[in-house]
Amino acid sequence: MAVFRNHFLPVCVLILSLSTLLTSTVSTSSTQKPSRATTVTVSDFGARGDGKTDDTQAFVNAWKKACSTSGAVLLVPKGKTYLLKAIRFQGPCKSPLTIQIFGALEASENRSDYKDKRHWLTFDAVNNLSVDGGTTGNIDGNGKIWWQNSCKINPSKPCTKAPTALTFYNSKNVKVTNLRVRNAQQIQVSFEKCANVIASNVAVTAPEDSPNTDGIHITNTQNIQVINSIIGTGDDCISIESGSQNVQIKDITCGPGHGISIGSLGDDNTRAYVSGVTVDGAKLSGTDNGVRIKTYQGGSGTASNIKFQNIQMNNVKNPIIIDQNYCDKSKPCKKQKSAVQVRNVVYRNIKGTSASGMAIKFDCSKSYPCKGIVLQNVNLQGGKATCSNAQVMGQGSVSPHCTNT
């Protein structure tokens, strides 16, 4: 028996040693603290936040620090108002970056402070970006001076561009939450040439008569979700333009405004492509349009595989509309044969009331008629339906029924 015990003694010692080492390693690793984010505060770079002092350079310097620091959080403290000229927050950054806008950002009223004339706050080539407005953050475009000088308000003024309040450009993996944007100079929030975007709990507000103040604008962007957001503005609540694919819009409240629009597409004889758009769950009240697809004559390309479903319309002037003869020009648009092809569009579970006597209007091209249009369980009261050059199929209960024109 002694031989037996001596033969296994080294093995027992080895097991005991390994066990002790493993326990020590686990114990050591469990006491290690996770790495903490580095908070970069705009106040540390001289931002005063008194609503009067120009804090632009302080924001630029704070951005440079946060963008070049691993795991940074850029903080805009609450309880203060930061006056800003136009800024381009340029990437790429060293690592994923979080911005906490807990204070108020207010745009300069001096139009000479905008060298670009098309942008106020821009995030350019910033991947893996999270922007959080918390419960107190606001972005105010201070747009009144721009609206007063718009040709749509004052026809004696030349038609010129005005800045978009907040632009995300050429960026991937972007998350925007709890953000409040108001009174943009023109478009309020724009996603351009982006991919993999989630925008949730976004609130957008501007007066009903503010010109061209689209709430959320999507162009040349793929894989984007806009969720649980409230938009009231002077133009489209959500506008989706060429190059956009796999756009998911869910639980949106819209009004006032021009509704949820795909387009305009094909302007100035251009090619346009939009596909894979789903609007699932929306409440529209008092808007000029409900769900709309609008294209110019003379364009080409396609708008396809689109679903509008589970939507409530209250006192909406044009609840369902496809307009392939759209024209937003100072002079009448010329008649042309080519058009952006509209096909495979489903309207499902849409109810409510029309404020104009028109509930459904499909005004499609003779040369490129609308194809694969499906109305399923649609009940819109107070208006008629006209369908011109459109291949329409009804499923379930549909009211009103199309009359061909």
Catalytic option among 140, 235, 236, 288:
235
Q: Are residues 138 and 250 in the same domain?
A: no
Neighbour tally for 200: CB within 10 Å: 16
Spatial contact of 267 and 296, defined as CB atoms under 8 Å apart:
yes
Q: Are residues 48 and 130 in the same domain?
A: yes
Closest of 286, 302, 207 to residue 245, by C-alpha: 302
pTM to 2 decimal places? 0.90
Token pair in block for residue 267: 């302007």
Q: Write down the pLDDT at residue 405.
A: 66
- What is the H or E stretch that residue 140 is in? strand 138-140
Residue 405 counted as domain residue: yes
Task: Decide if 7 is catalytic.
Answer: no
CATH of the domain at 156: 2.160.20.10
Residue 97's Cβ-side half-sphere holds a number of Cα atoms within 13 Å equal to 27
Q: Write down the pLDDT at residue 35.
A: 53
Task: Decide if 119 is catalytic.
Answer: no
Q: Are residues 95 and 172 in the same domain?
A: yes
* Phi, psi of 255, deg, nearest 5: 145, 135
Residue 188 counted as domain residue: no
Q: Are residues 150 and 261 in the same domain?
A: no
Residues with pLDDT less than 50, the chain: 1-34
Q: Which domain holds residue 398?
A: 236-405
What's the distance, Cα to Cα, between the start and end of the chain in Å? 105
The amino acid occupying position 196 is N
Q: Write down the pLDDT at residue 118.
A: 96
Q: Write down the pLDDT at residue 284.
A: 98
Q: Are residues 264 and 388 in the same domain?
A: yes
Token pair in block for residue 214: 């689209």
Q: Are residues 246 and 377 in the same domain?
A: yes
Catalytic option among 119, 214, 258, 363:
258
Domains contained in the chain, number: 2
Token pair in block for residue 327: 């024209």
Residue 107 counted as domain residue: yes
Residue at which a domain ends, from 159, 180, 201? 180
Say which residues have a Cβ less than 8 Å from residue 90's Cβ, sequence separation at least 6. 67, 124, 125, 126
Sign (positive/negative) of CA torsion 265, 311, 230, 109? positive
